[in-house]
Amino acid sequence: MSESLHVGIAGAGLLGRLAAWQLARQGHAVEVFDPAPDAGPRFRDGFASAAQADAQAQAAGFTAAGMLSPIAELDNAEPALAARGWRSIALWRDIAAALPGQPFFSAQGSLMLAHRADLGSAQRVLDRLRAACASPAWTAASPPEGARALAPAELRALEPAVSGPAHAWLLPGEAQIDAVQALLALHAAASGSDRARWHWGRRVEIAEEGGALRLADGEARHFDWVLDARGLGARPGLPVRGVRGELVWLHAPGHGVRRPLRLLHPRHRVYIVPRPGDVVLVGASEIESEDRSPVSLRTAVELMAAAHSVVPVLAEARILHLDVNLRPALPDNGALVRRDGRCLRINGLFRHGWLLAPALLEEGLALMAHAAAPPQEERTA
Ligand SMILES: Cc1cc2nc3c(=O)[nH]c(=O)nc-3n(C[C@H](O)[C@H](O)[C@H](O)COP(=O)(O)OP(=O)(O)OC[C@H]3O[C@@H](n4cnc5c(N)ncnc54)[C@H](O)[C@@H]3O)c2cc1C
């Protein structure tokens, strides 16, 4: 897009902020609307009813563990998702380096772990990953290396803090990003360009094909283009549903965990993700419910017991937050990138938003650039 455009963005979550920063960087003027009171994260502690929790909802992007796991996600997704994931990892590396304060990004691979008694169910996961890596759908992109079994000495060298699991596999090239640092840095960088205006406390009711945003207070704002990045807030225009996810924040000085770890367990999947500042995230449940009320005892016990069984030193960790949010998912659990006239809609990022966002935005901006063509719909898995 060579000319300078005025773009209205509905939603200042993961996609909205990434788009605001990229468009402002390209010389476009952006205005971003979001019902949140400000740009910061808000971690709620103490009891809140479901209604109170809804009213205080924050972007799912803040809750996410920030794992960029194209291989592990092949367990329940198509190779096309993984291909976008690899593209996004390459883009995040450059984005993180370009942002102020350089949010934490690391691509040292991740580990899958299994206790001796759980090898059977772990093998089933590995078989699915192997089959996905061998899929003919990889013809356009080179297939990933897949999971590589580690000998005990290799595991000790890579992750000395891990003790307990008898089996380990390395997923090379997988990455992670600090979601909170990245969201704050995207906001700061876009604001610093003087080409981004943020309208906090303003809810968008409709993102229109004609390039207008209709706000909850009745005002209509007209732009050259609009981007609908409201996640769950895009209802009823899009059939998005929320999938509950619960996650524990721990403070564990000297924990020693170097890369994301996933425990393969027959009943639940648990991951342990190290963050700067001695923080470790343990997640996450996946429950077909739009309940944002606090984390259940069952989830907290399962997550923390599993984490402790893999990294015993976490027994002395202190609990910082128990966080809950809803992942925006479409009926087929696939991502949507669609142009309706002068409105670009990106949604359905589900459990892979950080893994997919840069690649999806790249595709969306390409649709905008080719807008001379008649209106078209692109539905992608
Ligand atoms: C527990 C958990 C763990 C996760 N872990 C990972 C992970 O490790 N890796 C990964 O890739 N993904 C992960 N995700 C998924 C990821 O967080 C989401 O896919 C991603 O945040 C979706 O991005 P989004 O921009 O579409 O929505 P959001 O980040 O939710 O942003 C939507 C924004 O729109 C705003 N909004 C809502 N309604 C309106 C309205 N009417 N008008 C204007 N604005 C509105 C909201 O306030 C919000 O700011 C996780 C999610 C959860 C819940």
Q: What are 269-320's pLDDT values in tens digits?
A: 899 999 999 999 999 999 999 999 999 999 999 999 999 999 999 999 999 9
pTM of the model: 0.95
The CATH number given to whatever domain includes residue 308 is 3.30.9.10
Q: Tell me the C-alpha distance between 182 and 102, whole Å.
A: 8
Evaluate whether 309 touches 330 at the Cβ level (below 8 Å). Answer: no
Q: Which amino acid is at 150?
A: L
Q: Closest ligand 1 atom, CA of 350? A: 19
Which of the listed residues 14, 88, 330 should we mutate to test ligand 1's pocket, taking the one with most ligand atoms within 8 A of CB? Answer: 14
Q: Which residue has the higher pLDDT, 83 or 345?
A: 345
Q: Is the domain of 320 the same as that of 338?
A: no
Q: Which residues line ligand 1 (CB under 6 A)?
A: 10-16, 33-36, 59-61, 63-67, 203-204, 229-231, 233, 245, 247, 283-284, 325, 327-328, 349-355
Q: Is the domain of 197 the same as that of 341?
A: yes
352-373 pLDDT, tens digit each: 999 999 999 999 999 999 884 5
The residue among 377, 355, 361 whose CA lies nearest residue 83 is 355
Q: Is the domain of 268 the same as that of 324?
A: yes
Task: Print the domain residue range for 272.
Answer: 105-174+241-329
Q: Closest ligand 1 atom, CA of 357? A: 23
**In-domain check, residue 374:** no
What's the average model confidence in pLDDT over 145-160? 94
- Ligand 1 centroid to residue 182 C-alpha, Å: 13
- Rounded to 5 degrees, φ, ψ at 152 are -50, -40
| Alpha carbon distances (Å) from 66 to 79, 211, 269, 280, 376 | 20, 32, 16, 12, 32
Q: Is the domain of 254 the same as that of 134?
A: yes
Q: Tell me the C-alpha distance between 259 and 272, whole Å.
A: 8
Q: Tell me the C-alpha distance between 167 and 299, whole Å.
A: 24
Q: Is the domain of 277 the same as that of 212?
A: no
**In-domain check, residue 86:** no
Owner of token pair 């290799």: 154
Q: Is the domain of 325 the same as that of 336?
A: no
Q: Tell me the C-alpha distance between 177 and 181, whole Å.
A: 8
Owner of token pair 């966080």: 323
Q: Is the domain of 112 the same as that of 165?
A: yes
Question: Residue 141 — very low, low, confident or very high, per pLDDT cuts 50/70/90?
Answer: low
**In-domain check, residue 90:** no
**In-domain check, residue 350:** yes
**In-domain check, residue 75:** no
**In-domain check, residue 79:** no
- Ligand 1 centroid to residue 28 C-alpha, Å: 24
The residue among 16, 307, 17 whose CA lies nearest residue 189 is 17
Residue of minimum CA distance from atom 5 in ligand 1: 64
Q: Is the domain of 165 the same as that of 36?
A: no
Q: Which residue has the higher pLDDT, 42 or 114?
A: 114
Which of the listed residues 67, 187, 327 should we mutate to test ligand 1's pocket, taking the one with most ligand atoms within 8 A of CB? Answer: 327
Evaluate whether 227 touches 32 at the Cβ level (below 8 Å). Answer: no
Q: Is the domain of 13 the same as that of 159?
A: no
> Helices (DSSP H) in the chain: which residue ranges?
14-25, 50-55, 60-63, 79-98, 119-133, 152-158, 179-192, 297-310, 353-369
Q: Is the domain of 186 the same as that of 317?
A: no
The CATH number given to whatever domain includes residue 210 is 3.50.50.60
- Ligand 1 centroid to residue 144 C-alpha, Å: 27
- Average confidence score pLDDT of the chain: 92
How many residues make up the chain in this entry? 381
Evaluate whether 128 touches 122 at the Cβ level (below 8 Å). Answer: no
> Does residue 322 surpass a pLDDT of 50?
yes
- Ligand 1 centroid to residue 60 C-alpha, Å: 3
Q: Is the domain of 117 the same as that of 163?
A: yes
Strand partners, 200: 34
> Does residue 328 surpass a pLDDT of 80?
yes
Q: How far apart are the first and last CA of the chain?
A: 26
**In-domain check, residue 77:** no
Number of domains into which the chain is organized: 2
What's the average model confidence in pLDDT over 79-83? 88
**In-domain check, residue 87:** no
Q: Is the domain of 190 the same as that of 231?
A: yes
Q: Which tokens is 200 given?
A: 């906090």
% of the chain at pLDDT higher than 70? 94
- Ligand 1 centroid to residue 231 C-alpha, Å: 6
